[in-house]
Structure 1
Amino acid sequence: MSIKTLGTREVYRNPWLRLREDEIERSNGARGIYGVVDKDDCAVIIPIEGERIYLVEQFRYTIQQRCLELPQGGWETADIDPEELARGELREETGFDAATMTNLGMMYIAYGFANQKQYVFLASGLTHVGTDFDAEEHDLTLHSFTIAEFEEMLLDGTIRDCCTLAAWGLYKVWKEKQK
């Protein structure tokens, strides 16, 4: 390991994340600090039915904008089954149950400062059963687009969410390998 942790202290905590500051020593002997955001695992779901994909739109406080993105989120619970989480988030945000959930892989959202894992699932065989929003999602709306429209929004900057972009890239590679 090229960086050794000498000590750690929690700087901040809320129900969604913990922020810690680690005292470190690099392999060259230089000492410093490293800020780390600890967050529980989450999931991003690609709900596709035929040639249509479903996105959610919600207000993102950090950038003060409403944003279109794939359904995604976490439950602030450690050690949860990724598929159970993905199914729950899909139902919560879109109102859909999926006959099939295909695990496409795992990615780190921003490992330069956070250790959160995000599991990517393809949801198919969708049945609308009703939404189950949590309090933070009261303004969330569901939208349906053709895949061509969705991909154009990725290219023209309408959709800028890195999790949506990365999940779609993983899906496209997976789909190509299915041929």
Structure 2
Amino acid sequence: MPDGKLLERRLDGQTLVQGNFLKVCRDQVELPDGAVTTREYVVHPGAVMIVPLLDDGAGPLRLVMERQFRYPVGQTIIEFPAGKLDPGEAGLACAQRELREETGYTAAQWARAGVLHPLVAYSTEFIEIWFARGLTAGARQLDAGEFLDVFAATLDELQGWCRDGTVTDAKTLIGALWLQNVQSGAWALDWQRPPSA
């Protein structure tokens, strides 16, 4: 659909905060009707999320999940493994690195499901969604100051937690949606074996 009549044009801008990880900006923009206003937003480098399928033949499909305290909301959150892109890092390389570092697992096969924008009103953040299977356990390599529990959950457990509000993390809810549609056959994934796998 043509979106020309909806576009906003940047006139000027300034950085309000430059942190180690995030930057907060305020831009002056011209609206489609010619009016001028401001937009404040967070610049984020982008991230990946991994839906790791633990298909080891030990009963129903299980998923590798994490529990991590998230300071801004003051809660321990159940989520899929995820992490931010390093400068110049490709999505798959980041997904492989984050899965290994946070959970200790490596995967033989990978499939890129898509991308999500979790905070479109005030952030440039995007998250690539990756599926991983053919997992092999190994040692975790957590970053300094990173504390999280890794555990396995069934698809039924995850769906129950999404339904009852135990899982509130937006990227994990989207991962569960993708997984449900992949499992039902409604959505397909293009699995590949990366050279480094």
Please give the range of the TM-score, normalised by the shorter of the 2 chains. Answer: over 0.9
**Cα shift at 1:146:** 1.3
CA contact (8 A) 2:158 2:176 kept: no
Aligned with 2:165 (options 152, 157, 163): 157
Aligned with 1:49 (options 30, 47, 54): 54
Q: Deviations over 1:127-156 (max 9, x none)?
A: 11110101231x211011111111111111
Name the aligned partner's letter for residue 39 of structure 1. H
TM-score, with normalisation over the residues of structure 2?
0.85
Name the aligned partner's letter for residue 121 of structure 1. W
Q: Deviations over 1:12-41 (max 9, x none)?
A: 111211111001111112111101211112
Aligned with 2:28 (options 23, 27, 34): 23
Q: Which residue of 2 aligns with 1:67?
A: 77
CA distance in 2, matches of 1:4, 1:84: 34
Q: Which residue of 1 aligns with 2:42?
A: 37
Does residue 7 (structure 1) correspond to residue 16 (structure 2)? The answer is: no
CA distance in 2, matches of 1:135, 1:174: 35
CA contact (8 A) 1:104 1:171 kept: no
Q: Which residue of 1 aligns with 2:91?
A: 82
- How many residue pairs align between the two structures? 177
CA distance in 2, matches of 1:136, 1:118: 23
Q: Which residue of 2 aligns with 1:167?
A: 175
Q: Alignment identity in percent?
A: 25
Structure 1 residue ranges (4+ consecutive) displaced by more than 4 angstroms after TM superposition = none
Does residue 142 (structure 1) correspond to residue 147 (structure 2)? The answer is: no
**Cα shift at 1:167:** 1.9
**Cα shift at 1:108:** 1.3
Name the aligned partner's letter for residue 65 of structure 1. Q
CA distance in 2, matches of 1:16, 1:174: 34
CA contact (8 A) 1:41 1:78 kept: no
What's the secondary structure of 2:174's corresponding residue? helix
What's the secondary structure of 1:58's corresponding residue? strand
Name the aligned partner's letter for residue 146 of structure 1. T
In structure 2, the gaps of 5 or more residues are 56-60, 190-197
Q: Deviations over 1:98-130 (max 9, x none)?
A: 111111111112111111111101111111111
Name the aligned partner's letter for residue 72 of structure 1. A
CA distance in 2, matches of 1:153, 1:109: 20
**Cα shift at 1:78:** 2.9
CA distance in 2, matches of 1:38, 1:78: 14
In structure 1, the gaps of 5 or more residues are none
Name the aligned partner's letter for residue 13 of structure 1. Q
CA distance in 1, matches of 2:119, 2:181: 21
1:100-119 mapped onto 2 (5 Å cutoff): 100-119=109-128
What's the secondary structure of 2:181's corresponding residue? helix
When the two chains are superposed, the root-mean-square deviation of aligned CA atoms in Å is: 1.5
